[in-house]
Structure 1
Amino acid sequence: MESPPHKLNVGRDEDRISALTDDLLVGILERLDLREAVRAGALSTRWRHLPYRLSRLHLDVGHFQGQGATPLEVMDAFTGAAQRLLSLVVPLAEGEGGSAAIIPIKALILSFYMSSPHLSAIGRTVEDAVSYGKTECLEFSISPPRASNASLLAEFGQQFMSFSQAYPVAFWWLTRLTLKNLVFGHSDVTELINACNKLKHLTLSSCRLVDQRSALKIDTPCSGLRRLDCIRFRCERIELISVPELRTVLCCSRRYENPPVRFGDVPQLCHVNLGYLAKASQAPLMLSECLSRSSRNLSKLNINFFSQTVKLISVHLHITRSSFLPISAVYFVFFMLQIWIQPEQPKRLTAIFRNLTDVYLFGIFPECDLSWTLFILEAAPALRNFKLSRTRHTCGKKLYDTAEKTNVVWEPSKDLKHLNLKLLMMLGFEEEVKVTNYIRLVMAHVVRLKRIELHGEDPCKECNAIDPRRSQVDKASRRQIKERLTLESSSSAKIIIC
């Protein structure tokens, strides 16, 4: 006689998931949003202690924005939650014997307001959490309370600097710091970077100097900073005097002078994104005067001209993986309302561009001739991928203090023979004589070109509109375009029209 099937004894607080070990359950919770992890901990007595065993926490002040709550009330809730969750001594599961467990924090991300009554509690709590030396990632994202009076921003900046000086252990362990809407003194940023021994990524968003007519100077020869983002940072310009480990730079603002950034000792620089809206009176920008000759690892370059009323120059550079360093990059973006990039003789840029492998020129206004872009091809012998984007759509935005669009005349060297370019891609392709002539010009000067991709204009990311003048190339037209491009050409490049 067969025995009856075994019945699982599953009670209210016992199920198959809850039967897993604490380590496995904590691993599950660490993959959830923190709010969901805390809610899961309230399901049963078996789960109740698990949120306190998390070694990776992301606590955002936005999670505590109750309806009608004041900034002080929000920060009260945030600080209380941080103190509970970051307690090193955590409760054990019901029925476990012995002393309470100690769980070191491996990764901690805190996003909070500048609130003077709460900073000391946050500083002490964080210093206790990192005291065991097991923290691998510590990130702060700090901003004034919402709807703060602009006149208080300088006061918030001073409060922040006092906060960083009062809790040096916490800031010594910081790996990433994001600051928004704060005002700094002349040397505050340099002092901050020097105080944050482990800092790898610093973001300054909508911040400014007390004296906006002065330069933000960063001189940190002993820092390990690898990425610097200055977004709408209001100052005359940014001077990177010595930041030897810096790989990634993003600078975007309306108020920079020309050049917007001056690079000094930045030998590891490899990915740059610079942006600024220049005045009509400013001279064309020369890349050789902006980029550092100490930077020999630049490998990707993006130049954006913002189409029609806006001309933006952007540089996106990339370093390949080595035995010592991970893949990383640096961005230059020069937002220029009216100033065109100044083509240069190759000898001025070859030392800087010798490792350049990818170039992307986007936002070129459609009336512009394109042959000038070959000055980059001449200066970058290792270039493999060359992409251009032309656009007519501008979302109806009108910008002031700008000059008229200016075409650029540039004749490539007759003996130019590029040996490494493999891909030529164009977005916003239109069947025009100057475009066809430009593509044939590239084909004539590139020896081993493998592929040419011609795409229509992409939808606008701002308004989700598709320009009605976007290229709609039918099958017959594609064949005719290919015939015109290959007529009397020895190039074997495959032409793809999308």
Structure 2
Amino acid sequence: MPQHPVAEPTVPNPEIPAGGAAYWQHQQQWEDEDRLSALNDDILLSILGRVSLCMSVRTCVLSTRWRHLPWLLPELSISVKDFLSVPCPEPIEANDMEELAMASLTKVTRSFLADQQRERTISSLHLNLYLINAFLCEVGPLVGDAIGNGLLKDLDLSVLDETDPLERSDEDMLKRAQEIDTFFSAYPSVLHCLTKLSLENADFDNLDMHHVLFDCCKQLKHLRLFFCDTGTYSVFRIDAPNSKLCVLEIDCCRFERIELVCLPKLEKFICTTWMASQHIPVILGFVPSLGELELSYGAPYDPRPFRLSKLLNGTTSIHTLTLDFQGENLWLQPEMEELRTPFNKLKKLYVCGIFVEFDMLWMTAFLVAAQSVEKLHVQVWEHACEVGEFRGGSFRVRRAPPWEMRFDGSENKLLKELQIGGFRALEQQFTFIRSMLERSPNLQKIILRGDGQCDDCDALDASLRPSKFPKKDEEEMVVERIRSGIFSPAIIFDEDWSLSI
């Protein structure tokens, strides 16, 4: 029989006392910590900058060497949500919880902004807070003085509201807008320093929102408005030739139409859930830098389809386009030739929220117009929690796309990647993928992904849930259905398997 080596007896180290293993482990940790603490401040600040401010302060309290570092961080992020109790203690009311959180935020803000011994300026402050006047009267002067003293350079401000927008009355929204305007009027230096601003649930019907946002906020580069307006069914007209705004997000606002008359620096525009009207939701004027456009809308009723070419009229630099139908009817009229000019530089096209029972070949129309597209991502929408008896009464019956296209046989020679989210082994999906292979000779990879997580769908009875992404033993069938009779150098794969076509 083979002889196994016999382990040598362990000889105790006379320098290590009883329980030496634990002692040696702690000694090693101390040495590691000493080596870390020996790094210069800039490296340690780089480490601390990757965690939250609360975690940074807690960490530095434990070490004399690190204790001064949080007050040297060039970027600070102070969010009222970090001070909310989780779970919420009973029987405390939501308003009381928000006041307690704002009290903590005020104390932390004072600690970082009222420190006259601070060695470095704050290049950027991210401040998320609730609109509670008792505390804003303290936070406002702290931020204003920091700006006036040259301590603070850029301010990223989010005025949060946890209330469901549908539970806010018109009077509530008008009052909230007035309180926001009062805060800015009391501390005008805050406006002058703002580089990013997010506002929620406010109706500026009686106020000059355009003057505040585009005349006073001269440094503003990123603006997000959620459930805000200048009066229900109003037109929001932006004419700001001197604005530095690069990113504009209009989310669930009650504007009938948004007119971007002049925003020369605008690079990204996101518009979701606009009001139904006979007009197109957006008019793009002088926006020469606009490269990314995202339109997302799941209509609770039949929307009036509009021509995308009319919305994009005059734009020539869009390289990334996202259209999200959120599983409802298409709100676009069929067209190809009219899109060739605005699609001239389009590189990435995302078409999301396509109801699973809809045909997908109509999307080929986009590729006929956009010969420069390199990446096409399609997301199929299928949620058992929002069909049949689970579908809300305000939503009408989904109708298949009315697009009837005639293709000229042109090829998309630049298309390199096709990604299908929510893939299932359905005939319309196979047909669409095969058509992409036939018209895209340089297609390199096809990525097939399943549905994302949905807690509401998972809670349903198993018999009501849609079939899942093809299993491992079905991969051969999937590839064969796609490649049958077609030669292509592309590779088809997902996260678990890959096969060369």
1:421 aligns with 2:415: yes
Match of 1:351 in 2: 341
- Pick from 449, 469, 494: which aligns with 2:490? 494
Task: Tell me: CA distance 1:102–1:450, structure 2 relative to 1, closer, same or farther (3 Å).
Answer: closer
For 1:162-173, what aligned pairs fall within 5 Å after superposition? 162-173=182-193
Match of 1:104 in 2: 121
Report SS of the residue matched to 2:243: coil
Aligned-pair distance for 1:376?
A: 0.8
Task: Tell me: CA distance 1:89–1:450, structure 2 relative to 1, closer, same or farther (3 Å).
Answer: same
Match of 1:206 in 2: 227
Q: State whether residues 88 and 103 of structure 1, in contact with CA within 8 Å, keep that contact through their aligned partners in structure 2.
A: no
Aligned-pair distance for 1:476?
A: 7.4
Which of 355-364 and 475-484 deviates more? 475-484
> 1 CA distance for matches of 2:102 and 2:482?
66
Q: State whether residues 316 and 342 of structure 2, in contact with CA within 8 Å, keep that contact through their aligned partners in structure 1.
A: yes
- Pick from 316, 328, 341: which aligns with 2:332? 341
Report SS of the residue matched to 1:450: coil
Match of 2:154 in 1: 137
Report SS of the residue matched to 1:160: helix
Match of 1:89 in 2: 116
Give a deviation string over 1:412-462, Cα, whole Å, max 9, x none.
Answer: 33342333223334344444554444444344433x233452636324445
Match of 2:291 in 1: 270
Q: State whether residues 385 and 457 of structure 2, in contact with CA within 8 Å, keep that contact through their aligned partners in structure 1.
A: no
Which of 171-180 and 150-159 deviates more? 150-159
- Pick from 249, 254, 257: which aligns with 2:269? 249
Aligned-pair distance for 1:251?
A: 1.7
Task: Tell me: CA distance 1:190–1:249, structure 2 relative to 1, closer, same or farther (3 Å).
Answer: farther
Match of 1:152 in 2: 172
Aligned-pair distance for 1:280?
A: 4.0
Q: State whether residues 61 and 112 of structure 1, in contact with CA within 8 Å, keep that contact through their aligned partners in structure 2.
A: yes
- Give the structure-1-normalised TM-score: 0.77
The alignment covers a number of residue pairs equal to 443
Aligned-pair distance for 1:355?
A: 0.6
Aligned-pair distance for 1:238?
A: 2.0
- Pick from 42, 55, 58: which aligns with 1:39? 58
Task: Tell me: CA distance 1:482–1:124, structure 2 relative to 1, closer, same or farther (3 Å).
Answer: same
Match of 2:83 in 1: 64
Q: State whether residues 190 and 218 of structure 1, in contact with CA within 8 Å, keep that contact through their aligned partners in structure 2.
A: no
Give a deviation string over 1:247-295, Cα, whole Å, max 9, x none.
Answer: 11122226343422222211111112222344645322211112241x2
1:55 aligns with 2:46: no
- Give the structure-2-normalised TM-score: 0.77
Letter of the 1:224 partner, please give it.
Answer: K
Q: State whether residues 259 and 284 of structure 2, in contact with CA within 8 Å, keep that contact through their aligned partners in structure 1.
A: yes
1:449 aligns with 2:447: no
> 1 CA distance for matches of 2:69 and 2:283?
50
**Structure with the larger RCO, 1 or 2 (CA within 8 Å, 6+ apart):** 1
Which of 461-470 and 421-430 deviates more? 461-470
Match of 1:331 in 2: none
For 1:23-38, what aligned pairs fall within 5 Å after superposition? 26=45, 28-38=47-57
> 2 CA distance for matches of 1:464 and 1:398?
12
Q: State whether residues 298 and 325 of structure 2, in contact with CA within 8 Å, keep that contact through their aligned partners in structure 1.
A: no
Task: Tell me: CA distance 1:165–1:355, structure 2 relative to 1, closer, same or farther (3 Å).
Answer: same
Gaps of 5+ in 1: 91-100, 312-338
Aligned-pair distance for 1:58?
A: 1.6
> 2 CA distance for matches of 1:121 and 1:188?
24
Match of 2:18 in 1: none
Give a deviation string over 1:153-174, Cα, whole Å, max 9, x none.
Answer: 3222112112223322222111
More helix by share: 2
1:291 aligns with 2:284: no
Letter of the 2:323 partner, please give it.
Answer: I
1:76 aligns with 2:70: no
1:187 aligns with 2:208: yes
Aligned-pair distance for 1:70?
A: 5.2
Match of 1:482 in 2: 480
- Tell me the C-alpha RMSD between the 2 structures: 3.4
> 2 CA distance for matches of 1:39 and 1:425?
43
> 2 CA distance for matches of 1:105 and 1:158?
30
Task: Tell me: CA distance 1:157–1:381, structure 2 relative to 1, closer, same or farther (3 Å).
Answer: same
Match of 2:377 in 1: 387
Task: Tell me: CA distance 1:23–1:468, structure 2 relative to 1, closer, same or farther (3 Å).
Answer: closer
% of aligned pairs identical?
A: 28
1:178 aligns with 2:198: yes
Letter of the 1:453 partner, please give it.
Answer: I
Task: Tell me: CA distance 1:28–1:45, structure 2 relative to 1, closer, same or farther (3 Å).
Answer: same
Report SS of the residue matched to 2:191: helix
Task: Tell me: CA distance 1:182–1:482, structure 2 relative to 1, closer, same or farther (3 Å).
Answer: same
> 2 CA distance for matches of 1:439 and 1:146?
44
